[in-house]
Copies of this chain bind each other. A is one copy, B any other.
Amino acid sequence: MDLDKKQLEQQYAQIKGMGLYLDMSRGRPGPDVVDLVNEMLTLPANNYKTSNNIDCRNYGILDGIPEIKKLFAPMLECSEEELIIGGNSSLQLMYDTIVRAMLLGTGGGSLPWHSQKPKFLCPVPGYDRHFAICESLSIEMINIPTDENGPNMDMVEELVASDKSIKGIWCVPMYANPTGIVYSDETVRRMAKLKPAADDFRIFWDNAYCIHHLTDNPPVLLNILDECKKAGNPDMVYVFASTSKISFPGGGIAMLGASKTNADYIRKHMGCQTIGSDKLNQLRHVQFFKDYDGVKAHMELIRKVLQPKFEAVLDVLSSELNSELGEWHVPQGGYFISFNGKPGTAKRIVELCKEAGVVLTGAGATFPYLNDPEDRNIRIAPTFPTVEELRQAMEIFCISVKLATI
């Protein structure tokens, strides 16, 4: 691609003068998506009891009313007794799960992690908030490269088998944050068959985007809970999900699926931590979605809003850039597009964008310790702005890529 530096600089200066402000930094839905659940804002009105007559306005029920468990068990692909309904944040469920392991172990007589210099494997690029949990708790992170099938499993197998202090791995198996890839069947099976040196090793399976499809025939992810059972590792995985990007971000329902042994252990300690999550919000969700088909139907409405946004981003990328300037994966779902520029360009691209009024996730944020060793990965979050804003932002992005590369 022929790049005329002078011309690019002129274009860039012109845009900079426009005083734009476009935010593509975080994976959050736009008002056009949350509008779709506005009806929930007047629920549960007078219907504040569950079908078995529990008054959701009062104390009681630690891990979710029966209706909400029935509604979401199919999404987590677990039984209702394997399901724990949390508060409004799956991040908090993950944090609490790690903190519990740090202080009390994972159950069955295992020792607290804090005394064992715990380490986590971190497939990269990955989700910055996962890494922030580890960093804040002084859990050492080890980068694991990923490709279109998921993490490099040779490396994962070797590391967990040889190092007892490796206690966990972060996985976003479906439409990974930020790459958008879906773990292959082989990856899931190898994950379930791991033979860790640490018998309290846990897979943190953050299935945040499990039903956020953008295609008619979405890929199917193998059920990790089933695969772990088949492999004789039933307790090796915790599955997380939430309705943060289905209903209200920050006002939705978080959940955790795990073997009954794990779930019972968590319930036991949760009982000291809380009197249980907000049942009125659980009921609100049940009344709005009715059943799991209702959830899936709602995801189709969300897809109608999001698909044109992803298409706009991909369209500008493919018309403005080529493989000499960078590469990106076309995701079949999820919330992000991951861009890899030439090594050493990411920070500069983000900086150029910022100066021109386009806020991106900080370069490096998709790696532990905010350190992208090649300085090339940028996470693009196309869900919040309008299609028009996205086109404008991506034009600026592409000019910035070109300027940073030449």
Task: Give residues in A with beta carbon < 8 Å to B.
Answer: 26, 28-29, 31, 34, 37-38, 41-46, 48, 55-60, 87-89, 91-92, 95-96, 99, 102-104, 112, 114, 129, 132-133, 135-137, 244, 248-251, 269, 271-281
Contact = CB atoms under 8 A, between A and B. Distances in A.
A103 B95 contact: no
A59 B26 contact: yes
Contacts of A29: 58
A57 B102 CA distance: 33
A132 B279 CA distance: 23
Contacts of A136: 104, 269, 272
Contact of A41 (B58, B135, B280): B280
Contacts of A104: 136-137
Contacts of A96: 273
By Cβ-Cβ distance, the 4 closest A-B pairs, closest first, are: A136-B272, A92-B274, A251-B280, A95-B273
Contacts of A38: 46, 48, 57
Contacts of A59: 26, 28, 244, 249-250
B92 A103 contact: no
Given A87-B88, A102-B103, A103-B114, A275 B251 contact: no
A10 to B, nearest CB: 36
A60 to B, nearest CB: 7
Given A42-B45, A274-B95, A103 B249 contact: no
A103 to B, nearest CB: 6
Q: Which of A37, A99, A129, A273 has the most CB of B within 10 A?
A: A273
Contacts of A132: 271-272
Nearest to A248: B57
Contacts of A244: 59, 275
Given A87-B87, A103-B99, A273-B95, A58 B34 contact: yes
Contacts of A28: 58-59
Nearest to A95: B273
Nearest to A47: B41
B41 A46 contact: yes
A280 to B, nearest CB: 4
